[in-house]
Amino acid sequence: MSIESKLASINVYYSTHLTFILETVISTMLFWGYNTTSMGDGSIKAIKDRYRTSFFPSQESKQEPLTTNKLEKIDFQINQKPETIKDHILKMGLIYLFSLFEAFNKDFFQTLFKFKPELMKTKDKHLNYEALLNFSDIDELYECIVQEEINSLGYLDIDQIADTLMDKFKINLKEDFEYWKPLRENYYRRNIIVHNDGKISEIYLKKMSLGKGQLNEELNCDIDYLWKCHDDIKSYMDFIDDSIRKKFNLKSLIESL
């Protein structure tokens, strides 16, 4: 398979899975009775009914009976759930979208480095003779170096990724990618959801140039935000793919399919 086709297949694979995640979020919300914008009494009833199913599995006759007090307690818990469920569904969707963003970067650039190993040339990293003699051939050596490069890429935040792309490929995300600012905000919001329970952290304040007064405010995401995030990541993938093809004079994405 040609390098053009390999890069095209990576773009198509991750673009398809991005949309699958978005559709899964929407269908899950609909399953729980949301119309993705508001809830009516009927949807709350449906949610309560589903929760009762999970709270009340098939009971053995020897188990203690459910008292009125227990039923009232469970009803109270169920009534607290609707917005919590919606919030978790959307946050999980955002987390999954950026998992695909990171996986795309790894797969795309791993393929590119294998195609053009000279891109990995640097005077800052060295291998000693003992390590070199452990490789059976040059391809095995290239594979090891590629993995080292890709592993290091996985530790970078989105700003560092932008700097790396500028240094290695002269791809200027900050100036030339139309959706850089919203994508960057999406990324750091994902981080505070994962690492700070969705509350604004010192890092988010600094990255977004916000005032100290907003520290620990909680950020959520609605379906419109998630949809836009999906589009931003998809646009990033297309931008990277197109930029690399132009830089190395490769056939376009359409021509490669």
Residue 133: phi and psi, rounded to 5, are -70, -10
**Which tens digits make up the pLDDT trace of 113-148?**
888 776 666 666 666 656 666 767 777 767 766 777
Could you tell me the pTM of the whole model? 0.76
The string of pLDDT tens digits covering residues 205-249 is 999 999 999 999 999 888 899 999 999 999 999 999 999 999 999
**Total domain count for the chain?**
1
Amino acid, single-letter form, for residue 89:
I
Q: What phi, psi does 218 have (nearest 5°)?
A: -90, 135
Range of the domain at 165: 3-256
Secondary structure letter of residue 117 according to DSSP: G
Token match 């990171």: residue?
A: 102
Phi-psi region of 36 (alpha: psi -120 to 50; beta: other; left: phi over 0): left
Give the model confidence (pLDDT) of 80-105 as tens digits. Answer: 556 778 888 899 999 999 999 999 99
